[in-house]
Amino acid sequence: MLKNIPSILSPELLKVLAEMGHSDRICIGDGNFPGASMAKAKNAIFLRADGHGVPEILDAILQVFPLDTYVEKPAILMEKMDCDKDLVIPVWDEYKAIIAKHDARGAEAVGNIDRFKFYDEAKDCYCILQTGETAIYANIILQKGVIK
């Protein structure tokens, strides 16, 4: 056991977060995200966090992981497809509130990209973390910054 480390962060995930350097990225996927196949595409590390949702994982990660201050949008969400344009995605507001707790830019640190561009970006991540999140469009990519 360690002090001041969120217990939701597994030893494997802590190791990966510590290994990551400036500008490395982690994709946190919801339960529907094709994480295993995305990770295989370019030999990314693939971890599971079954039974956990993205908001609580995101909050825990951001307690130990600085977002990149050298890019405008270090947190990236997957845009809705045209067929889903009328869907409301409340988890995005949760993400923005969580990010605001840990980064002074708040919602300004969050961007959106096309679904298939998101998949391409996920394949280039250092790690893909598959959660049990049931909300749709709940995937997020985080780019690591430096501790100053």
Catalytic amino acids? 22, 68, 119
Q: Which tokens hold the place of 62?
A: 């951001």
CA distance 85 to 20: 35
3-state helix, strand, coil in the chain (%, to 5): 35, 20, 45
Q: Which tokens hold the place of 121?
A: 């970006």
Half-sphere exposure for 60 (CA within 13 Å, toward CB): 18
Q: What are phi and psi of 143, to 5 degrees?
A: -105, 125
Place of tokens 């497809």: 81
**What residue type is 76 in one-letter code?**
I
